[in-house]
Amino acid sequence: MVPLILLTWPSLFLVLVHGLHIPLAEQVVLSSPEPARTGILRRFLIDKSLPGEVKGVIEDLMHAGADLWHASKHQVDVYIPPSVADTPFLSHQGDVEYTDSNVSFFPISTPSPSTWNLSSLSNSTFHESYHTLEDIENFTAQLAELHPDLVKLVNIGHSAEGREMVALEIAKSKGQNKKGHGISESEFAAKKHGFVITGAQHSREWIAVSTAMYLAHALVADASEPHSLASLLNHFDFHMVLVPNPDGYKNRQVVGPNEKCIGLDMNRNWGHKWKPTADFPFALDNTKNKKKKGPNVPTDPCSHWYPGHRAFESPEVNNIANYITTLPRLRTFIDLRAYGQMLSAPFSYTCKRDPKDAEDQIEAAMGAARAIKEVHGTVFTTGTLCEMLYRAPGNVVDYMYAKAGIKYSYAAHLRDTGTYGFDLPPHWIRPVGEETVNMIKSLAHFIVDKKSG
């Protein structure tokens, strides 16, 4: 695979912008990967190595052209592309312990829209492959055409490169009271809660957008179909931004007239506890022996986790935040992500403070994790984002909870735990969708029961 070519959507998740100027030309579709080339996914175990040594090795790898894929308190995954894997550099890493696995890449190969059969969740071929932005737009248009009584498309603004951002609203307008008698649309709407779901803010997290589309399809599917979510429309109105980042890796806005890199990390650009600095994930720092530093220096715009000059600098983040303010009775927010198999509650900006609603949030998350396991045996862990990963200010989950007032706000890191990482095989799209359906059902039922209890 050529690591610096961008897909129309999602952008190729191995785009590495360290020291690279990426022109603002229209993105091109990668036709096929190099068949015999695979990269290495290297896992470093923090609890078996000195954090400082691991950090030094990983920083050297990234300077050589590797890519940080995942970090937590216990492990760090780094993808090493073929161009780096073939260099002698890899044999000089001291005594730091690691394990390797090979990663091959899957091209986008999608059936024709005429064969998708979106009238059925079970029989559709749509969820057998990853899709381009054009396919996703066709998917949403078809859902709206097939279910005009349930689906509404709302334009919420434009991306940095001018692409249209669309929210998918899925809601029933007619209902009944407890005695089975019809009630007015306004009365029915007032009885329901708002449920917000977003796909990948980081475009290399392909499975997040594919799962968001599966959930949208499940919401409009006939209630008789396996994995249908249709029954939840009696209690919730769903608001879904399938593609929060339609442009590509990070996002693709110009962040300064003389900067050699473009784009910022959308998930560090939200307006709660935002900071202009973003350290290397603290799991790699020996915090017990950490000396006081001088004044904070703004993060390098070429960093993967560059937070921008100010909160809401990203037009995509700003558009979603503005859209959220228009929605009534919001109770639940899910930010779909990859990877790690974790369901995490606020906070992300600190590990020293718990939300006032932490007990309810974690109880609901634990029930959702059990529900996920019931489908295919997939094990999810639960906790706060900071505990599960590392301290990261400006996170969307913190914003949705603390500023938008959505009590049950979560980040759901989907499969897997590092065997494939971001390059999850397409035949796992449907199983991931099915177990995520159970997660949504569990959270929804918990919230309804809690409200009525």
Whether residues 355 and 233 share a domain: the answer is yes
Domain count, the chain: 2
Whether residues 324 and 397 share a domain: the answer is yes
Sheet holding 408-414, edge to edge: 151-158, 164-170, 236-241, 193-198, 330-338, 408-414, 342-345, 381-384
Is 27 a member of any domain? no
Residues of the chain with pLDDT below 50 are: 1-36, 286-290, 453
Is 228 a member of any domain? yes
Whether residues 138 and 94 share a domain: the answer is no
**Spatial separation of the C-alpha atoms in residues 391 and 114, rounded to whole Å:** 46
Per-residue pLDDT at 179: 59
- For 68, the domain range is 39-103
Is 305 a member of any domain? no
Is 376 a member of any domain? yes
Domain boundary among 103, 136, 157: 103
| CATH code where residue 91 lies | 3.30.70
Per-residue pLDDT at 184: 82
- Ramachandran region, residue 452 (left: φ > 0; alpha: ψ -120 to 50; beta: rest): alpha
Helix, strand, or coil (residue 289)? helix
Whether residues 355 and 412 share a domain: the answer is yes
Closest C-alpha to 48, from 99, 90, 101, 85: 99
Is 19 a member of any domain? no
Whether residues 215 and 335 share a domain: the answer is yes
Whether residues 70 and 195 share a domain: the answer is no
**Spatial separation of the C-alpha atoms in residues 288 and 197, rounded to whole Å:** 38
**How is residue 46 written in tokens?**
């923090």
Is 95 a member of any domain? yes
**Spatial separation of the C-alpha atoms in residues 274 and 229, rounded to whole Å:** 35
Whether residues 73 and 177 share a domain: the answer is no
Give Cβ neighbours of residue 288 (< 8 Å, ≥ 6 apart). none
Whether residues 224 and 81 share a domain: the answer is no
Whether residues 399 and 360 share a domain: the answer is yes
Residue with tokens 């073939």: 86
Per-residue pLDDT at 206: 93
Query: β-strand 193-198 against 330-338: which pairing, if any?
Result: parallel
Per-residue pLDDT at 93: 61
**Spatial separation of the C-alpha atoms in residues 122 and 139, rounded to whole Å:** 16
| CATH code where residue 244 lies | 3.40.630.10
Is 87 a member of any domain? yes
Per-residue pLDDT at 435: 98
Whether residues 239 and 335 share a domain: the answer is yes
Whether residues 89 and 139 share a domain: the answer is no
**How is residue 394 written in tokens?**
């400006």
Cβ pair 250, 266 in contact under 8 A? yes
Query: β-strand 39-45 against 67-71: which pairing, if any?
Result: unpaired
Whether residues 68 and 151 share a domain: the answer is no
Per-residue pLDDT at 311: 97
Q: How far is CA 52 from the centre of its chain?
A: 29
What is the value of pTM for the model shown? 0.89
DSSP labels, 108-166: -----GGG--TT-TTT-SGGGS---HHHHHHHHHHHHHH-TTTEEEEEEEE-TT-PEEE
Domain boundary among 81, 103, 125: 103
Q: Which helix (H) or strand (E) holds 206?
A: helix 206-220
**How is residue 203 written in tokens?**
């475009």
Is 2 a member of any domain? no
